[in-house]
Structure 1
Amino acid sequence: MIVGRRWGDVVNSWFNKIQSLVGYRTFTILTLVITGLLLFLLLLNGVRSETYDIKQFQLSNDTIRAVKTVEDPVKTEEERKRAESEVTSVYQFSEEIGDNNSSIVTSIFDYVLEVKAQSGEEPIENQVKELEENLQVLETAGVGLRFGEDALTSLLLLDNSKLSNLNDLISTSIRNIMSKPIRTEDVSNAKNEIEKRMRGNEEIPEIVLPTAVLIARYSINENETLNDQLTQARVDQARASIDPTRILQGQVIVQEGQVIDREVYRQLGLVGMLTNQSSLKPIFGLILFISLCLWLVHMQMTKWHTDKKERQSALLVVMIILIMSVVGMKLISLVSDNFDVTIAFLFPTALAPMLVRSLINERFAVLVAFLTAAVAGIVFQEGYSVILQMEITLYILFGGLAGLYVIQGAEKRSHLLQTSMSVAIVNLIFMAFYLLMSQSDFGLSELLFYGIAALTSGVLSGALTIGLLPFFETAFGMISAMKLIELSNPNHPLLKKILTETPGTYHHSVMVANLADAACESIGADGLLARVGCYYHDIGKTKRPGFFIENQMSHANPHDSLPPENSRDIILSHGSDGAKLLRKHKMPKEIIDIAEQHHGTTLLKYFYHKAKEDGKEVKEEEYRYAGPKPQKKETAIICIADSVEAAVRSMKQPTSEKIDEIVYSIIKDKLHDGQFDECDLTLKELKIVENVLCETLNGIFHSRIEYPQ
Structure 2
Amino acid sequence: MFRPLVNLFKSLKFKYMSMFVISLSAILLFLLMYGNVKQETYELHEFKISPKTVRSLKTVEDTVKTEQEKKRIAAEVTPFYQFNEEVSKIRQAIAASLFDFIIEAKEENEKSAADTEDGAEVKTKSRSEQIKEIRQKLKKLEEEEPNLRLTDDAIISLLKEDPSDLRNMQQELTKIIGDELSKPIRSGDLASVRYEVERKLRLSDAIPSDQLQTLITLGRSLVVETETINRELTDKRIEEEKNAVEPTRILQGQVIVREGQFIDSEIYRQLELTGLLTNKSSMKPMLGLALFVLFLSVIMYMHFYTWEENKNRKKKALFIVYSIFFILVIMMKLISLIDKEFDVQVAFLFPTALAPLLIKLLTNERMALMITIITAATAGIMLQEGYAAIMQMELTLYILFSGLLSLYLLGNNGRRSNILRTSIGVAVANILFIGFYLLMTQSNYELNELIFYFAAAIASGILSGALTIGLMPFFESGFGLLSDMRLIELSNPNHPLLKKVLTETPGTYHHSVMVANLADAACESVGGNGLLARVGSYYHDIGKTIRPTFFIENQHGGQNPHDELPPDKSKDIIIAHAVDGAELLKKHKMPAEIIDIARQHHGTSLLKYFHVKAREMGQDVKEADYRYPGPKPQTKEIAIISIADSVEAAVRSMKDPTPEKIANLVKAIITDKLNDGQFDECDLSMKELRKVEKVICETLNGIFHSRIEYPE
TM-score, length basis structure 2:
0.91
- Number of the residue aligned with 1:623: 626
Q: Does 1:281 align with 2:271?
A: no
- Number of the residue aligned with 2:75: 85
1:706 to partner: Cα distance? 5.4
**Does the 8 A contact of 1:402 with 1:423 survive in 2?**
yes
1:411 to partner: Cα distance? 4.5
- Number of the residue aligned with 1:418: 421
- Residue identity in the other structure for 1:298: Y
1:175 to partner: Cα distance? 0.7
- Number of the residue aligned with 2:456: 453
Q: Relative to structure 1, is the Cα distance of residues 548 and 85 closer, same or farther in structure 2, using a 3 angstrom cutoff?
A: same
Structure 1: which 5+ residue stretches go unaligned? Answer: 1-10
Q: Relative to structure 1, is the Cα distance of residues 104 and 254 closer, same or farther in structure 2, using a 3 angstrom cutoff?
A: closer
2: CA distance, partners of 1:91 / 1:12: 84
Q: Relative to structure 1, is the Cα distance of residues 272 and 621 closer, same or farther in structure 2, using a 3 angstrom cutoff?
A: farther
Secondary structure of the 1:122 match is helix
- Where does 1:447-526 land on structure 2 (aligned, <5 Å)? 447-526=450-529
2: CA distance, partners of 1:286 / 1:113: 90
After superposition, the C-alpha distances for 1:570-625 in whole angstroms (9 at most, x for unaligned) are 22222221111111112122211211222223333343444445554544443332
- Residue identity in the other structure for 2:431: L
- Where does 1:122-201 land on structure 2 (aligned, <5 Å)? 122-123=112-113, 126=125, 129=129, 133=133, 136-141=136-141, 142-144=144-146, 145-147=148-150, 151-152=154-155, 154-155=157-158, 157-201=160-204
**Does the 8 A contact of 1:540 with 1:579 survive in 2?**
yes
Q: Does 1:681 align with 2:671?
A: no
- Residue identity in the other structure for 1:376: A
After superposition, the C-alpha distances for 1:263-319 in whole angstroms (9 at most, x for unaligned) are 222212211111223333322322332233333333333444432222222221221
- Residue identity in the other structure for 1:388: M
Secondary structure of the 2:43 match is coil
After superposition, the C-alpha distances for 1:70-95 in whole angstroms (9 at most, x for unaligned) are 11112111111111111122222211
- Residue identity in the other structure for 1:480: S
Secondary structure of the 2:77 match is coil
- Where does 1:211-290 land on structure 2 (aligned, <5 Å)? 211-290=214-293
1:376 to partner: Cα distance? 1.8
Q: Which moved more, 1:182-191 or 1:367-376?
A: 182-191
1:689 to partner: Cα distance? 2.1
**Does the 8 A contact of 2:600 with 2:630 survive in 1?**
yes
1:439 to partner: Cα distance? 1.9
Secondary structure of the 1:123 match is helix
2: CA distance, partners of 1:160 / 1:480: 125
Q: Which moved more, 1:220-229 or 1:168-177?
A: 220-229
- Residue identity in the other structure for 1:466: I
- Number of the residue aligned with 2:87: 97
- Number of the residue aligned with 1:300: 303
Secondary structure of the 1:661 match is helix
- Number of the residue aligned with 1:6: none
Q: Relative to structure 1, is the Cα distance of residues 306 and 508 closer, same or farther in structure 2, using a 3 angstrom cutoff?
A: farther
Secondary structure of the 1:603 match is coil
**Does the 8 A contact of 2:101 with 2:137 survive in 1?**
no
2: CA distance, partners of 1:673 / 1:656: 26
1:45 to partner: Cα distance? 0.8
- Residue identity in the other structure for 1:126: K
Q: Does 1:434 align with 2:437?
A: yes
- Where does 1:331-350 land on structure 2 (aligned, <5 Å)? 331-350=334-353
Q: Does 1:375 align with 2:378?
A: yes
Q: Relative to structure 1, is the Cα distance of residues 425 and 495 closer, same or farther in structure 2, using a 3 angstrom cutoff?
A: same
Secondary structure of the 1:222 match is coil
Secondary structure of the 1:92 match is strand
Q: Relative to structure 1, is the Cα distance of residues 251 and 611 closer, same or farther in structure 2, using a 3 angstrom cutoff?
A: farther
Q: Does 1:320 align with 2:340?
A: no
- Residue identity in the other structure for 1:498: V
- Residue identity in the other structure for 1:354: L
- Residue identity in the other structure for 1:346: L
2: CA distance, partners of 1:526 / 1:590: 11
2: CA distance, partners of 1:432 / 1:157: 104
- Number of the residue aligned with 2:50: 60
Q: Relative to structure 1, is the Cα distance of residues 681 and 295 closer, same or farther in structure 2, using a 3 angstrom cutoff?
A: farther
Q: Relative to structure 1, is the Cα distance of residues 288 and 643 closer, same or farther in structure 2, using a 3 angstrom cutoff?
A: farther
Q: Relative to structure 1, is the Cα distance of residues 154 and 42 closer, same or farther in structure 2, using a 3 angstrom cutoff?
A: closer
After superposition, the C-alpha distances for 1:476-530 in whole angstroms (9 at most, x for unaligned) are 1112222211211112111111122222222221111111111121222221111
2: CA distance, partners of 1:409 / 1:197: 107
Secondary structure of the 1:601 match is coil
Structure 2: which 5+ residue stretches go unaligned? Answer: 115-123
Q: Does 1:530 align with 2:529?
A: no
1:146 to partner: Cα distance? 4.7
2: CA distance, partners of 1:504 / 1:48: 69
- Residue identity in the other structure for 1:222: E
Q: Relative to structure 1, is the Cα distance of residues 15 and 74 closer, same or farther in structure 2, using a 3 angstrom cutoff?
A: closer
1: CA distance, partners of 2:292 / 2:358: 24
Secondary structure of the 1:249 match is coil
1: CA distance, partners of 2:418 / 2:485: 9
Q: Relative to structure 1, is the Cα distance of residues 225 and 13 closer, same or farther in structure 2, using a 3 angstrom cutoff?
A: closer
1:110 to partner: Cα distance? 4.5
After superposition, the C-alpha distances for 1:178-230 in whole angstroms (9 at most, x for unaligned) are 01223345445433432332232122233544553454334322222222222
Q: Which moved more, 1:274-283 or 1:141-150?
A: 141-150
- Number of the residue aligned with 1:401: 404
What is the aligned residue count?
A: 699
2: CA distance, partners of 1:157 / 1:650: 157
Q: Which moved more, 1:108-117 or 1:622-631?
A: 108-117
Q: Relative to structure 1, is the Cα distance of residues 264 and 620 closer, same or farther in structure 2, using a 3 angstrom cutoff?
A: farther
Q: Which moved more, 1:545-554 or 1:463-472?
A: 545-554
1:430 to partner: Cα distance? 1.6
- Residue identity in the other structure for 1:497: K
Secondary structure of the 2:82 match is strand
**Does the 8 A contact of 1:15 with 1:476 survive in 2?**
no
Q: Does 1:541 align with 2:544?
A: yes
Secondary structure of the 2:278 match is coil
Q: Which moved more, 1:522-531 or 1:697-706?
A: 697-706
1:581 aligns with one of 575, 579, 584: 584
2: CA distance, partners of 1:372 / 1:461: 14
Please report the RMSD computed on the Cα atoms of aligned residues, expressed in angstroms: 2.8
Q: Relative to structure 1, is the Cα distance of residues 289 and 666 closer, same or farther in structure 2, using a 3 angstrom cutoff?
A: farther
2: CA distance, partners of 1:700 / 1:387: 63
Q: Matched residues, percent identical?
A: 55
